[in-house]
Amino acid sequence: MRTGIATVCLSGTLEEKLRAAAKAGFGGVEIFETDLVTSPLSPEDVRRLADDLGLGLDLYQPFRDFDSVPDELYRANLRRAEAKFKLMGRLGIDTILVCSNVATASIDDDALRSAQLHGLAELAADHGVKVAYEALAWGTYVNDFEHAWRIVDDANHPNLGTCLDTFHILSRGWDTAPIEGIPGEKIFFVQVADAPKLSLDVLSWSRHYRVFPGEGQFDLPKFLGHVARTGYSGPVSLEVFNDTFRQSDVERTAVDAMRSLIWLEERTAQHLAASAAEAAGGAPSPAQLAQASRAYAMPLTTLPQVAPPSGLNFAEIKAADGGAATAELERLLGQLGFEPRGEHRTKPVSLWTLGDARIVLNRQQARGVEPGISALGFDVENSVAAVARAVQLKAVPVARTSQANEEVLQAVQAPDGTEVFLCQDALWVEEFGSVAPGGSPLGGAPESAEVARIDHINLAQPWQHYDEAVLFYSSVLALSPQPSQDVSSPAGLVRSQVMQTEDRSVRLALNLAPWVQADSVRGTVRDTFQEHIAIIVPDLVATAKACRARELPFLAIPENYYEDLDARYGLDPEFLATLRELDLLYDRDADGEFLHFYTATVGSVFFEVVQRIGGYDGFGAPNAPIRHAVQHAHRR
Amino acid sequence: MRTGIATVCLSGTLEEKLRAAAKAGFGGVEIFETDLVTSPLSPEDVRRLADDLGLGLDLYQPFRDFDSVPDELYRANLRRAEAKFKLMGRLGIDTILVCSNVATASIDDDALRSAQLHGLAELAADHGVKVAYEALAWGTYVNDFEHAWRIVDDANHPNLGTCLDTFHILSRGWDTAPIEGIPGEKIFFVQVADAPKLSLDVLSWSRHYRVFPGEGQFDLPKFLGHVARTGYSGPVSLEVFNDTFRQSDVERTAVDAMRSLIWLEERTAQHLAASAAEAAGGAPSPAQLAQASRAYAMPLTTLPQVAPPSGLNFAEIKAADGGAATAELERLLGQLGFEPRGEHRTKPVSLWTLGDARIVLNRQQARGVEPGISALGFDVENSVAAVARAVQLKAVPVARTSQANEEVLQAVQAPDGTEVFLCQDALWVEEFGSVAPGGSPLGGAPESAEVARIDHINLAQPWQHYDEAVLFYSSVLALSPQPSQDVSSPAGLVRSQVMQTEDRSVRLALNLAPWVQADSVRGTVRDTFQEHIAIIVPDLVATAKACRARELPFLAIPENYYEDLDARYGLDPEFLATLRELDLLYDRDADGEFLHFYTATVGSVFFEVVQRIGGYDGFGAPNAPIRHAVQHAHRR
């Protein structure tokens, strides 16, 4: 599939955009007019630069407000178009996007529109240009792709075709099946964008909230499946207007964009294979998938297939060697019931375990930098395939030095810098020495060691990489995004996005924390970067009691919380007294109950211990404001 | 009028919220349940703190999902309510907000609702509590204030009344006139919020985009006029859910909030006086306004009345004495045709003029800090009244040292720190010495000196003070906000908000610049704080030629711009050649044409020179992306 991206998706100057698109591996770009007009580069310079970068210039856009106008304006529009056709000649671009008239349309007459577009196509032919006519979702008279196609079909000119844009089609809820009625060679261009489902007016929605494929809620594989079946073989190009992407680093955004198209190719091939298999009455085989990826004029690249991870192999916290915060962290782990399993053979790294929960304390960080979650290990079936897939999805591999005889662990970087290890086993544990003679200095084996494990990890995400993170974890690790939720905190709303496997063996919560300016709320910026590791145990009350006996610093829960809990649930007084005494939190849903507690924070890391009773499937979200408020007060 | 604010409007802990509300001068607060539940303060502590601060605790809220339920759930809800009534006794709050059921309503029967609310009121009476029932805009069965009132009226219990919330009423477009049919004593509470008109679903709109009165588009004075006519005398309290306010400094937000209620009181009195005068067939007199402010059980404070400013008296740029940037700035002013009018008698400040445009160069800034716009002078009829008004609107007066025999200039601080001077005349000019012998060192009097003046000022606003700035300039200076506009730049979208007088003698453009993180677009944060002063001249081409002769560094406009201009407008070739040669920009609207050019930037300041031909009323917005792109490239 030929991949493309409109320059308007990216921040920076035209030159920066072209360089970033080429670096990310795009086949071509759409030149958005404003980017050219504001550039000091001449059209010839742009053409030369694109050539040097191996980047196709696939589309010039947009040409607005052409059709459905009185004759005088039509002539003026032709003159305006001719100037652009000449410009395209200098750029070496052969296709222009003409979108349905929004501003000056005054005559609602399809025959007139066909005639005017035919006239435009005639003029375009003189300049070797092809015109791709597109229905904007908010076009005055033409806002439906089928309508645009009928007009193009009636005009019947070899230099006139249609452009399909997923946003304009899916935002209006149009049925996409009729796409297959359009001959592939009359589709001159295909633009794709995803979007969250909003009830906003379609123009504002389009201008500010589009995202890259896989970051929203549109069914793009189904759309692109229809397009593939028409025999279309041209570019599939991103046109995403997004306030955040326009502000973010151009090279990162280009990589995120490229990843989204690779994801879309794979999903489209899967969709096509599944349709074929369904017609034959079964699930698609790998051979059918490979077949689907090659069956169309638009070949679809597929990636090594991987199953979702089956568990969290470990979590790593980076801390400075010998620092006070590090000592505090070690004490905290001991108080939680973790046992030190010894030092790594060659590195300043120690392993701590509680049942199946493994935490690696990496003391290679510089002094003065606070401890933070630095790496996560995921259990995968085949780590080589998993890393190969990740790298094909533009993830950056992590280079770690290993000595001979050490396990070579495969890792890639997540958008926020967290290192994601793809682990086939836990043999690396053997590189850690056994506990020093005399056993754990911090207490015996915990009560619940045999079944404790990591329940979930909560990572704080910088606002400008949030959508990118969702796509990263869903494409690279096959985690499924759940509906996001807003939680109140003293420093602002925190948007929480859970990514998990269907069987819940891996749960990851991404928190988009509010950004606090220096002169702003006294909670300071540090508020926003707290992250945590949650351990699940079979008997939370017993664990809490043992932790209290080991003098674990619990996050202190306000008395008002227990009164409100009682008002809401009318809990058994003895149970309520236990919750209160142990600083435990409680939640309930239709399927079960949830008990949990939090520890104090060290650096930017704290811990949570949870128990799930019955089929409870959440994370205690109603209690999150309590935690934020208490942590905020501690930060002061 | 008793003023109030819901704690949910503000950031921080409950204690911080209460202190900030008291400091801003609020009469009372609504305790939002989550703020209490997350607080370490006991109810008794909260009551004591509020007492100490002289702050009333006027409402406990919200109590959700009470009505329209089966009997079993009704009994559970009564139990839940009783716990809250007891809590309110400890807090010393006598009114609770009960909002129409959203989550558990299953029986659509007004008689049942009246009976259930009657039962709740009976229980409330036992605890000395009054119940204010409110229709949420998205209530399952009850979402219209008239419907809520009918249910309350039918229940007919002295402890049951209704609560009116402007958002729930105006977001749905309900007719507000029927408010006057509700007896004032049955309105137990009034909540006000403004909002921009969005086509978003009403729940998201309410939860994220409410703003303080005067910052949105609702007709709140009309609403409050109806309320006053019912004889209501209770609190008028802000309930504003806003993502930005929740993240901003709590004390600033509280002041912004208080200003909005003062503004609303005045506008309501004006509305009532105008209605009365209209009934009598004329415009309201000051006496009628005073009368309207006292005529109701809810007295309305009014402020010193001021006319909108009649011009820009001066603009001040702060720069470091003897710095390279300052020398560059002086050179730039000379090249623009400004003449140095000498030094201030006692301060390191110089005055530069071009016709009626006065720029004060204040060299008191520390070395290393870049030059920036620091103060604006507005021409007002009565500076004492204007300052008194500003101070009553919670503006902070600026203290400036003056020697004997010097003009005492009155100034207050705008939200972004700009000093706003309210000038009755320009006698202060006499404190500057005449030009040094030999005349201006930088050239003779400019061509257009006799009519040049400041056309507009463009100020960059930090994102968290944007709404506050709009309210500040509209309430303190009587400037009218125009519809805002988004302009693209290489670093993101720039939201531009024009504030101006009806006669256009003062035009101010506030730019909400995108915030760029350190690791982000290489344009860096400095991009976002460029501001400028625009001078209007009668013959731009002549001025531009003279400036070029004086070697003014023009902002260089890309050739591509002129080609696009020609494609769009088919301009006269000679005129186009002049534009191109002089780096001029061109725009056109239905009423006229606009010519302008920009200078290079010094520190964070640059200049624009404009000519308005015919009735052109804009600011050349289509050309703004060109300016941003060229400035971005220079910043690299």
Sort out which chain B residues have CB atoms less than 8 A from A197's CB and list them.
Answer: none
The whole-number pLDDT of residue A119 equals: 98
Among the partner-chain residues A83, A249, A517, the one whose CB lies closest to the CB of B519 is A249
The whole-number pLDDT of residue A523 equals: 34
β pairing state of B507-512 and B453-461 = parallel
Confidence of residue A609 (pLDDT cuts 50, 70, 90): very high
Among the partner-chain residues A199, A492, A560, the one whose CB lies closest to the CB of B200 is A199
Q: What percent of chain B has pLDDT over 70?
A: 94
Q: What percent of chain A has pLDDT over 90?
A: 75
Mean pLDDT value across chain B = 91
Q: Do A559 and B523 touch (CB under 8 A)?
A: no
Confidence of residue A636 (pLDDT cuts 50, 70, 90): low
- Judge whether residue A74 has pLDDT over 90: yes
The whole-number pLDDT of residue A391 equals: 95
The whole-number average pLDDT for the span B349-367 is 93
pLDDT tens per residue, range A100-146:
999 999 999 999 999 999 999 999 999 999 999 999 999 999 999 99
Among positive and negative, which fits the CA dihedral B204, B208, B211, B215? negative
Instruction: Give which of A58, A96, A52, A53 is closest to A77, Cα–Cα.
Output: A96
Confidence of residue A149 (pLDDT cuts 50, 70, 90): very high
**Nearest chain B residue to A519, by CA:** B249
Among the partner-chain residues A39, A556, A560, the one whose CB lies closest to the CB of B558 is A39
**Nearest chain A residue to B40, by CA:** A558
Residue pair B256/B206 in contact (Cβ under 8 Å)? The answer is no
Instruction: Give which of B513, B518, B520, B462 is closest to B492, Cα–Cα.
Output: B513
Question: pTM score, two decimals?
Answer: 0.90
Q: Do B198 and A200 touch (CB under 8 A)?
A: yes
Reported for B267-273, long-range contacts at CB under 8 A and 24+ positions apart, including other chains, are B267/B214, B267/B220, B267/B221, B268/B220, B268/B221, B268/B224, B268/B225, B268/B228, B268/B300, B269/B293, B269/B300, B269/B302, B270/B221, B271/B221, B271/B222, B271/B224, B271/B225, B272/B225, B272/B228, B272/B296, B272/B300
Structure tokens at A574: 């003895």
| Phi, psi for B482 (deg, rounded to 5) | -95, 165
Among the partner-chain residues B11, B200, B488, the one whose CB lies closest to the CB of A200 is B200
**Nearest chain B residue to A12, by CA:** B490
What is the spatial distance between Cα B24 and Cα B26, in angstroms, rounded to a whole number? 6
What is the spatial distance between Cα A364 and Cα B441, in angstroms, rounded to a whole number? 63
- Judge whether residue A407 has pLDDT over 60: yes
A247 min Cα distance to partner chain B (Å): 5
Residues facing residue A420 across a β-bridge: A376, A412
What are the C-alpha distances in Å from A260 to residues A238, A294, A450, B460?
Answer: 9, 20, 41, 35
Q: Do A247 and B492 touch (CB under 8 A)?
A: yes
The whole-number pLDDT of residue A290 equals: 87
The whole-number average pLDDT for the span B33-54 is 97
Amino acid at B94: D
Confidence of residue A522 (pLDDT cuts 50, 70, 90): very low
Residue pair B198/B151 in contact (Cβ under 8 Å)? The answer is no
- Judge whether residue B238 has pLDDT over 80: yes
- Judge whether residue B421 has pLDDT over 50: yes
The whole-number average pLDDT for the span A569-592 is 97
Sort out which chain B residues have CB atoms less than 8 A from A465's CB and list them.
Answer: none
The whole-number average pLDDT for the span A549-575 is 96
What are the C-alpha distances in Å from A135 to residues A97, A114, A146, A191, A230?
Answer: 11, 14, 9, 12, 19
Give me the half-sphere count of Cα atoms (radius 13 Å) on the Cβ side of residue B620: 27
pLDDT tens per residue, range A268-311:
999 999 998 887 777 788 888 888 888 899 999 889 988 999 99
Structure tokens at B322: 């003897």
Residue pair B532/B517 in contact (Cβ under 8 Å)? The answer is no
B508 min Cα distance to partner chain A (Å): 25
- Judge whether residue B449 has pLDDT over 80: no
- Judge whether residue B557 has pLDDT over 60: yes
Residue pair B544/B552 in contact (Cβ under 8 Å)? The answer is no
Confidence of residue A515 (pLDDT cuts 50, 70, 90): low
pLDDT: is A283 or B39 the higher one? Answer: B39
Sort out which chain A residues have CB atoms less than 8 A from B568's CB and list them.
Answer: 80
The whole-number pLDDT of residue B636 equals: 57
Residue pair A473/A334 in contact (Cβ under 8 Å)? The answer is no
What is the spatial distance between Cα A623 and Cα A631, in angstroms, rounded to a whole number? 13
The whole-number pLDDT of residue B293 equals: 87
- Judge whether residue A420 has pLDDT over 70: yes
- Judge whether residue A525 has pLDDT over 60: no
Sort out which chain B residues have CB atoms less than 8 A from A559's CB and list them.
Answer: 42
The whole-number pLDDT of residue A409 equals: 80
pLDDT tens per residue, range B499-541:
999 999 999 999 987 665 443 333 334 345 689 999 999 999 9
The whole-number pLDDT of residue B526 equals: 39
A66-70, B245-249, B459-463: which is most confident: A66-70
Confidence of residue A439 (pLDDT cuts 50, 70, 90): very low
Q: Do B38 and A560 touch (CB under 8 A)?
A: yes
Complex ipTM above 0.85? yes
The whole-number pLDDT of residue A516 equals: 54
The whole-number pLDDT of residue B463 equals: 75
CB pairs under 8 A between A and B: 180
The whole-number average pLDDT for the span A596-612 is 96
- Judge whether residue B435 has pLDDT over 80: no
Among the partner-chain residues A39, A199, A558, the one whose CB lies closest to the CB of B39 is A558
A480 min Cα distance to partner chain B (Å): 24
pLDDT tens per residue, range B601-621:
998 899 999 999 999 999 999
Confidence of residue A401 (pLDDT cuts 50, 70, 90): low
Q: What percent of chain B has pLDDT over 90?
A: 75
